[in-house]
Amino acid sequence: MAKYILLLRNDPSGWEKMSPEDMQKWMQRYIDWNNKPYVVQSDRLDSFTGRVMQKKDGKLSVTDGPYGESHEVLGGYYTIEAKDFDEAVKLSSDHPHAEHGTVEIREIMAMPEHGRG
């Protein structure tokens, strides 16, 4: 089985507008989705801390992040197993995050074993 990563992006200020009851309902939907048999791993990322590193002309630049050009941030990820990309899309089609953000699906390419220590 191939592995795919689901990158969850959204504007974190949307969560701040929810009532505690609505937030609890949404969180339960994520918990339920996490318990599906093809989910390998998932984690939430801190939306308010991070650093972006870039090296240009040999000089390292480190800026506060994780913010890019927009207010949308990478808020978390899931790793799932599927037989192919079409199945990964089908399995992910009911992910609750797609209702208030974006879900990007990317195949995880295995790194060669040599050279690892």
Can you give the residue ranges of every domain in the chain?
2-107
Find out whether 88 and 80 touch, Cβ atoms under 8 Å. Answer: yes
Give the CA distances from residue 16 to residues 19, 22, 67, 99, in Å, rounded to whole numbers and listed in that order.
Answer: 8, 11, 18, 16
CATH number of this structure's domain 2-107: 3.30.70.1060
Question: What is the DSSP-derived secondary structure letter of residue 33?
Answer: H
Name 3's bridge partners. 81
Give the separation between CA 14 and CA 11, rounded to whole angstroms: 6
pLDDT tens digit sequence for 1-45: 999 999 998 877 777 788 999 989 989 999 999 999 999 999 988
Q: Strand, coil or helix: what is 28?
A: helix
pTM attached to this predicted model? 0.80
Confidence class for position 69, pLDDT limits 50, 70, 90: low
